[in-house]
Amino acid sequence: MFRLSSISAAQPCPDMAEALRLDLKGLNCPLPVLKTDKALGRLAPGDLLIVEATDPMSAIDIPHFCREQGHRLMDQEKNGPILRFTIARR
């Protein structure tokens, strides 16, 4: 079930100076890609967005979205059920 309380707005990320963090844990396809697209649209070119998701399809969908839209996928990692993507806006 989709709960708005499971989403937090993009917020500063302490481990990367210019990065914003988007918490999409608990959301399923296609919401992680849609919300990533919306968040990237608010950033300036070159800005970084760190996306955290738990939907296994995000491992395929977010890299594909980045390739199709011209964003640069800087890093992709998995820590338990959490998938973390670092994306530079085109």
**Of 15, 16, 28, the residue nearest 7 (C-alpha):** 28
Query: What is the rounded (10 degree) CA torsion for 26, 28, 31, 36?
Result: 60
**Of 12, 77, 69, the residue nearest 40 (C-alpha):** 69
Given the residues 7, 29, 31, 57, select the one marked as catalytic: 29
**Of 3, 19, 11, the residue nearest 74 (C-alpha):** 19
| 29 is a catalytic site residue | yes
Catalytic residues: 29
